[in-house]
Amino acid sequence: MKKAVEINDLTVFYRDTLALDNVSVSINSGKITGIIGPNGSGKSTLLKGILGIIPVKKGTVSFFGSSLEKYRSKIAYVPQRESIDWDFPITVEEVVAMGRIRPKKWWSRTTMADREIVKETLKKVQLSEFVNRQIGQLSGGQQQRVFLARALAQEAELIVMDEPFVGIDMASQESILSIVQKLRDSGKTVVIVHHDLSVVAEYFDEVILLNKKLIANGPISEILKSENIEKAYGMTLLLNRK
Amino acid sequence: MDLSIWIVFIGTALIGISAALVGTFTFLQKKSLIGDAISHSILPGIVLAYMISGQRNTLILMLGAFFSGWLATQQISWLQRKTKLKSDTIVAATLSIFFALGLAMLSYIQGRPDDGQAGLSDFLFGKIAALNIEDLYLFATVSALIIAVTFFRYRVMFSFAFNKEFMISKGFSLRWNDFILNSMTILVVAMGVQAVGVVLMSALLIIPVLTARMLTYQLRSLITLSLIFGTGSSLAGSYISILGKNIPTGPCIIMVLSMCAISVALLLRVPFKIKK
């Protein structure tokens, strides 16, 4: 199977604290892969490290065989909701339009084609009626869909989402998952960071279990069977499963 | 009206426009305190430029201001990278150190026989009447530069302010973005201290946009309203300061600005609550 992301010996420090320890793992293309681990296990760090958002100490990452610089324009990143200032004076439409900004251009304007794409993606996530709302006025699920729409507007091949299911209702979770599945079915690769294996796990095709080190990875069915989860979490997670 | 009055009004308007524009983006990037640090830290640069050149030439003084302002922002970002100190601590310390140095140098100059000629103490509180026609050309050039950069880059600066991780993931350079915004802030401050003075300059950056923010959540109206508040108050303030002979320009402008802010807050009857 084609590898979307190949990570070799990735080691990341936050100042003096080791956050990721020699992680080598690959992510298959055309799949929904979950990166699962307890709090502070380095899941978000892994994402930020491979996308060059934070500096890495050691290790290499390639995307479909090419470097981050070459592949960057085909990656969409959906940040964690705590990292967003919801009082910021920005409208739904403006957030989604961010997906159309291109670097290396001095004059950054929204073209007619961009506007059209923004409109289309808002329709896809069912937020057309909220275009001119300030983002803080939306519900948690709607807010998450705005950021998903921004990722869609990028027309990316690889979509990377950091904890998209935190603080949202069931209906929004369903609608996000159905969009994610459509993306996968159209051949895109989706990577989702999530904190446990409850509920949403059944939507993942493959899972990477992380706790500073790589604990295990593989198809979800195998991972659920094995004792790996205990290694990552102890017993608590099993109890959370329904 | 005679020419000098026109110079004062055009100069003030240019300062008001530039400060409102740059202030909007420092506010959005949550760097209002950096504006304050920069305005205080350009003092040693101004005094040093005067000591070396021996004349009160605005261009030379601005170069000095730019140099020490740039040094201060470098010190701030270096300390942020290398130490575990919190950002506000670093900014406050930098501000005080540079300002203290500037004050010490200023006192030294004024103790010399050629004192009084310099009028450098005007930089503390601002004295717009000291402006001449050459200053005006310089101001116009700097303002044009700031307007042009804002026009071409506002989308990128705005997006960085909202979600910098996303912008980095798209391949934009955070350091380049910071550099541009810092440079614009330094330029505006170097220009604005003539009218408002070092001590109150940051108010001219912050208050227009915070007043505008109470009224709108849309970027375009935010910029437009900031421009109206910033420019209007600068003009009104300098007019008042010309009428009352001994009142420095800076406090007048900031008083007018504050009146606007307070009035808006009272009119909205939701004091300082930002509009969503």
* A212-236 per-position pLDDT tens digit: 888 888 888 887 776 666 666 654 5
Contact yes or no for A51/A7 (Cβ under 8 A): no
Query: What is the domain-level CATH number for residue A181?
Result: 3.40.50.300
Residues of A in contact with B165 (CB under 8 A): 48, 53, 77, 79, 83
The answer to whether residue B186 scores a pLDDT higher than 50 is yes
| pLDDT tens sequence across A69-81 | 899 989 999 999 8
The answer to whether residue A238 scores a pLDDT higher than 50 is no
Which site among B31, B209, B217 would you substitute to test the A interface, given the most A Cβ atoms closer than 10 Å to its Cβ? B217
The answer to whether residue A200 scores a pLDDT higher than 80 is no
The answer to whether residue A241 scores a pLDDT higher than 50 is no
Q: Is A83 within 8 Å of B159 when comparing Cβ atoms?
A: no
Give the per-residue pLDDT at B44: 94
Local structure of B223: helix, strand or coil: helix
Give the per-residue pLDDT at A242: 39
> Which residues numbered 26-85 in B keep a CB inside 8 Å of some CB on A?
28, 84
Interval B143-158 mean pLDDT: 93
Residues of A in contact with B152 (CB under 8 A): 106-108
Give the per-residue pLDDT at A108: 63
Q: Say which range, B28-42, B126-140, B223-237, has the weakest mean pLDDT.
A: B126-140
Give the per-residue pLDDT at A14: 83
> Which chain A residue has the Cα nearest residue B217?
A89
Beta strand pairing call for A3-14 and A58-63: antiparallel
Distance from CA of B249 to the nearest CA of A (A): 32
More confidently predicted of A171 and B180: B180
> Which residues numbered 107-146 in A keep a CB inside 8 Å of some CB on B?
107-110, 134, 136-137
Give the per-residue pLDDT at A195: 83
Which sign, positive or negative, has the C-alpha torsion B235, B204, A132, A100?
A: positive
Residues of B in contact with A61 (CB under 8 A): none
Containing structural domain, residue A105: 3-240
| The total number of structural domains that make up chain A | 1
Name the pLDDT band for A199 (thresholds 50, 70, 90).
Answer: low
Q: Is B169 within 8 Å of A91 when comparing Cβ atoms?
A: no
Residues of B in contact with A106 (CB under 8 A): 152-153
3-state secondary structure B60-87: HHHHHHHHHHHHHHHHHHHHHHHCCCCH
Q: Say which range, A145-154, B52-61, B96-105, B131-140, has the weakest mean pLDDT.
A: B52-61
The answer to whether residue B168 scores a pLDDT higher than 60 is yes
Give the per-residue pLDDT at B50: 87
Nearest residue to A159 via CA among A5, A1, A20, A26: A5
Q: Percent of chain B, pLDDT > 90? A: 56
One-letter amino acid of A241: R
> Which chain B residue has the Cα nearest residue A134?
B276
The H or E element that residue A4 is part of is: strand A3-14
The answer to whether residue A159 scores a pLDDT higher than 90 is yes
CA atoms of B240 and B244, how far apart (whole Å): 6
The answer to whether residue B137 scores a pLDDT higher than 60 is yes
Give the per-residue pLDDT at A235: 44
| pLDDT tens sequence across A89-134 | 999 999 999 999 887 666 667 788 888 999 999 998 889 999 999 9
The answer to whether residue B111 scores a pLDDT higher than 80 is no
Helix ranges (H only) for chain A are 43-50, 68-71, 92-97, 112-124, 140-153, 170-185, 220-225, 228-233, 236-240
**pTM of the predicted structure, to 2 decimals:** 0.87
The answer to whether residue B131 scores a pLDDT higher than 50 is yes
Cβ-based contacts under 8 A for chains A and B: 77
The answer to whether residue A239 scores a pLDDT higher than 50 is no
> Which residues numbered 132-161 in B keep a CB inside 8 Å of some CB on A?
152-153, 155-156, 158-159, 161
| pLDDT tens sequence across B235-245 | 999 888 888 77
Contact yes or no for A168/A209 (Cβ under 8 A): no
Distance from CA of B270 to the nearest CA of A (A): 16
Distance from CA of B136 to the nearest CA of A (A): 28
CA A42 to chain centre: 14
Residues of B in contact with A15 (CB under 8 A): 84
Q: What is the ipTM of this complex?
A: 0.88
Mean of pLDDT over chain A? 87
Distance from CA of B163 to the nearest CA of A (A): 7
Residues of B in contact with A90 (CB under 8 A): 158, 162, 217, 219
| pLDDT tens sequence across A131-144 | 999 999 999 999 99
Domains along chain B with CATH numbers: 3-198 (1.10.3470.10)
Pick A53's closest partner by Cβ from B28, B152, B168: B168
> Which chain A residue has the Cα nearest residue B166?
A77
